[in-house]
Amino acid sequence: MKILVTGSKGFIGKNLVSELRNRNFTDIFEYSSDTDSILLEEYCEKADFVFHLAGVNRLQEQSEFMDGNYGFTSKLLETLKKYHNSCPVVLSSSIQAELNNPYGISKKASEDLLINYSKTTGSKVVVYRFPNVFGKWCRPNYNSAIATFCYNIARELPITVNDPTVVMNLVYIDDVVDELINVLIGKKNAVGDYSEVPIIHVITLGEVVRLIYTFKESREERSIPDMSNQFAKKLYSTYLSYLPKTKFSYDLKMNTDHRGSFTEFIKTPDRGQVSVNISKPGITKGNHWHHTKNEKFLVVSGTGVIRFRDINSEEVIEYFVSGEKMEVVDIPTGYTHNIENLGDTDMVTIMWANEFFDPEKPDTYFLEV
């Protein structure tokens, strides 16, 4: 299938083209503002499907909206008609088509043009009025508040929030791309002239900003957001895409002594804490038990033994562990336990605990195994 994507270098276009390739659509005609206009003839003659994503939304002169949106749409459709190509056309419009401003008027005119084109040619058309789309590869400090906030906050630059109570209707770029491809492969059919947009997240501007600041702080706090919140999950992925290229990494605090080290890696509000423990050869760590705190140990390098003893018993239980065999060992409550490095190299253990360490209530009691 030959697919024409206009606006292929724009925000939605780049994401769509990359995912089309991921799904093995290789015959893609990419058309953008710097493409030789003569190629539009060839593309319109051969295309089996058109994603019309090209458009303008921020110009010096308001009259340019009609030229860039309505004008190019007209040119695209006339070229398709020239070659008697009645392939399906999907138009990326905007909720501003409902508004009486130069941009909205130009988008509404483009919609009407496409709908009339369908009536005269029999071509299947789908019109999407997208709200604010956010995600990776959106240009910051241009016309996307989300992109600007992520970019600036990641760089400790100021942002402007005039009214934090403003309610935003947001749609994530991956949801948009999935929706568009579903139309292409026949999993989604438009109802009437307009098709419903994918999942919309309704949230205040102030809450968006608060979340992005927590993402920035999470590096210092060794935390990650609640990934069960779908909007936070998508916004966090977006934020990471705007990190400066020299700031992908961040340091962790290693607590070191002659025995090795213990480093907290990740804390979550509802899924506990992950840490990395390094034990020197011959070293034994632990010898304590918990009432409610529970843990999981996974030795990923080296060899050792984890010993347990019910605090009300003299029986010692041993589990021999090694990085050669990935095996998770649960640490039940009421059992004092330790871990000893039996090898001649450092032993590295990934440790999960069901709660953060609270110095006011450590729930950790020393007792030799």
The residues annotated as belonging to the active site are 103
Q: How far apart are CA 320 and CA 324, in angstroms?
A: 11
* Cα 189 from chain centroid (whole Å): 27
- Sort strands 194-195 and 125-130 into parallel, antiparallel or unpaired: parallel
3-state secondary structure of 48: coil
Residues 6+ apart with CB under 8 A from 82: 41, 44
**Alpha-carbon span 37 to 62, nearest angstrom:** 24
Kind and range of the H or E run holding 20: helix 11-22
C-beta separation of 273 from 352 below 8 A: yes
| C-beta separation of 204 from 165 below 8 A | yes
Q: In whole angstroms, give the CA distance from residue 292 to residue 269.
A: 17
Rounded Cα distance between 285 and 283, Å, is 7
Going 193 to 144 to 60 to 31, the CA torsion angle's sign is negative
> Using alpha carbons only, what angle is made at residue 240 by residues 234 and 241, rounded to the nearest 5 degrees?
95
